[in-house]
Structure 1
Amino acid sequence: MKQKYLWLVRRAYRALRHPKLRHRVWWRKLTQPIFERRLWKPCRDTVAIGLAIGLFFGVIPLIPQSLFAAIAAMRMKGNIPFAVAVTWLSNPVTNVPIWVAQLWLGNQVQDLFSLAPPEFAGTFHIPHLGVVNAATFMVGVLLSGIIAALLAFPIVHLFSAIMPHHLPKLPKLPQRARAIVPPRGSRSSGS
Structure 2
Amino acid sequence: MPRKFIKKYLPDPHSIKKNRAVNMFGSLLHDANLWHLNRKSARGAFAVGLFNAFVPIPFQMWLSAVGAIVFKVNLPLSVALVWISNPLTMPPMFYGCYLVGEMILGDTGYEFAFEPSWDWLVQSLSTIGPTFIFGCFIVSSVSAIIGYFGINWLWRYSVAKAWRLRQEERANRTK
Alignment partner of 1:60: what SS?
Answer: coil
Structure with the larger RCO, 1 or 2 (CA within 8 Å, 6+ apart)? 2
Partners in 2 of 1:31 and 1:6 — Cα distance?
A: 26
**Structure index of larger Rg:** 1
Report the Cα distance in structure 2 between the residues aligned to 1:66 and 1:109, rounded to whole angstroms: 28
Look up the match of 2:138: 143
1:161 is the counterpart of 2:162: no
Structure-2 residue corresponding to 1:101: 96
Deviation at 1:31, TM superposition (A): 2.3
Q: Secondary structure at the match of 1:78?
A: coil
Inter-partner Cα distance in structure 2 for 1:135 and 1:3: 39
Cα displacement string for residues 27-67 of structure 1 (whole angstroms, at most 9, x for unaligned residues) = 5x832221222221211111111110100111112211111
CA apart distance, 1:78: 1.1
Preserved contact between residue 68 and residue 78 of structure 2 (Cα < 8 Å): yes
**Can you give the 5+ residue segments of structure 1 that lack an aligned partner in the other structure?**
22-26, 118-122, 166-191
**Equivalent residue for 1:181?**
none
- Once residues 40 and 26 of structure 2 are traced to their aligned partners in structure 1, the CA distance between those partners, rounded to angstroms, is 22
Q: Could you tell me how far 1:160 is from its partner in structure 2? A: 1.1
Q: 1:82 to 1:107 in 2, by over 3 A?
A: same
Q: TM-score, normalised by structure 2?
A: 0.71
Structure with bigger strand share is 1
Unaligned runs of 5+ in 2: 116-123, 161-175
Among 144, 147, 151, the residue aligned to 1:152: 147
Show the 5 A alignment for 1:25-104: 30-104=25-99
Within a 5 Å distance, the mapping from 1:123-138 to structure 2 comes to 125-127=112-114, 133-138=128-133
Query: Helix, strand or coil for the counterpart of 2:66?
Result: helix
User: Contact conserved, 2:46 with 2:144, CA < 8 A, in 1?
Assistant: yes
The CA deviation string for residues 147-170 of structure 1, in whole angstroms up to 9 with x for no partner, is 1111112111111112128xxxxx
Give the 3 Å change call, closer, same or farther, for CA 15–158 of structure 1 in structure 2.
closer
Match of 2:102, SS? helix
SS across alignment from 1:56: helix
Q: How many percent of aligned residue pairs carry the same amino acid?
A: 20
TM norm structure 1: 0.66
Distance 1:47-1:159 versus aligned 2 partners, 3 A rule:
same
Q: Does 1:110 align with 2:105?
A: yes
Q: Which residue of 1 aligns with 2:11?
A: 9
Aligned residues, how many? Answer: 147
Structure with greater helix share of residues: 2
